[in-house]
Amino acid sequence: MILVLTSDGDEHADRVVKSVTAAGADVIVFDPASFPTDATLEIGHSGDGSTGRVLDHGGRRIALDELTALWYRRPRDPVAHPQVAGRDYVQEECRLMAEALWDSLDCLTIPAARPVIDRAASKPYQLELARQLGFELPATLITNDPESFLDFYDRHEGRVITKPVHGNRPEPDFGRFAAPVTPTDITYAGTLRLCPIIIQAYVPKRVELRVTVVGSAIFAAEIHSQVSNHTRYDWRHYDPGATPIRPHELPAEISRRCLELVERLGLTYGAIDLILTPDDRHVFLEINPNGQFLWIEDAAALPISAAIGELLMSGVK
């Protein structure tokens, strides 16, 4: 039995669920935002030392201890009934209970339990681990010291970019992509003291690489971001009419490092961003432990959804 935690309308989950259901798997898709109004969760500890965890939703009572796999895809937080008093308090209580339940399940989890995902999403942590594994990194500074920032900017002759320390959950009004530092930005360098930022030397690109790891399977695609001004600094400004994306064959050593990085982070899935330089060096940028995959699957004809489905079906931790 497989449980998929995600929000309604998740096309990524829908594609995988359709395939594993067709293969005969028992799949439950649950949006935690329906708890507690339309769903019940239970954690029970009996006097004999045993534990029972239950989800009651949609007319079905599900013994969660019988799960063979959990896909912690993109769940929303619980939402209290609109008429309940103290909604903020109620929602926090529900969130803490639900997270404790998901974190305690003893089954294969993709990409990992929530605390592991949170740690793996830390860019400073990723960079240090990637360095230990032998990846080449851009010259990088993480700081809130304006003078250190300006010194770094001067040493690299102004060819630097900035990115947030943790970019996977930006505030709605402050989300940002990697961007080059402009002369105007320099005039506001003093405000850096109020919030740290990642500054990296610009790395020349032949192509950018998205490497998706699913269990022990690896899928690489090259993104020809330099053909379009929209994607020159960050391919996530994706220009579908002008950005070719093709399958890419990684050198064996780079593949090994990608697999080891995902394993060392405690993940079963990861979307890794690399740069392939004009002189054929592979430079590590970051890893998203729960990154989207349909866009690269469809553009490069990579069977990522099928690999996720096979891993869920395997139930192998």
Distance separating alpha carbons of residues 3 and 69, to the nearest angstrom: 6
Q: What percent of the chain has pLDDT over 90?
A: 78
Q: What is the pLDDT of residue 73?
A: 96
Task: Give me the mean pLDDT over the 114-126 stretch.
Answer: 94
pLDDT at position 172 over 50? no
pLDDT per residue over 6-50, tens digit each? Answer: 999 999 999 999 999 999 999 999 999 999 999 999 999 988 888
Look at 101 and 49; give whichever has higher pLDDT.
101
DSSP 8-state symbol, 238? -
Q: Closest Cα partner for 215 from 117, 110, 127, 123?
A: 110
pLDDT per residue over 290-306, tens digit each? Answer: 999 999 999 999 999 99
Q: What is the pLDDT of residue 239?
A: 55
Peptide bond into 78 cis (omega under 30): no
Full set of structural domains in the chain with CATH: 2-106 (no CATH), 139-201 (3.30.1490), 204-300 (3.30.470.20)
301: tokens are: 């004809």
Query: Which range among 162-166, 190-194, 269-273 has the greatest average pLDDT?
Result: 269-273
Pairing of strands 179-180, 207-214: unpaired
The H or E element spanning position 220 is strand 217-223
Name the band, by pLDDT with cuts 50, 70 and 90, for residue 244.
confident
pLDDT at position 237 over 60? no
Q: What is the pLDDT of residue 185?
A: 85
pLDDT at position 110 over 80? yes
For Cα atoms 289, 133, 299, give the angle at the middle one, nearest 5 degrees. 45
Q: What is the pLDDT of residue 171?
A: 47
pLDDT per residue over 175-229, tens digit each? Answer: 456 778 888 888 888 888 999 999 999 999 999 999 999 999 999 999 987 665 5
Look at 182 and 170; give whichever has higher pLDDT.
182
Q: What is the pLDDT of residue 50?
A: 87
3-state DSSP assignment of residue 72: strand
Pairing of strands 51-57, 69-74: unpaired
Q: What is the mean pLDDT of the chain?
A: 90
pLDDT at position 169 over 60? no
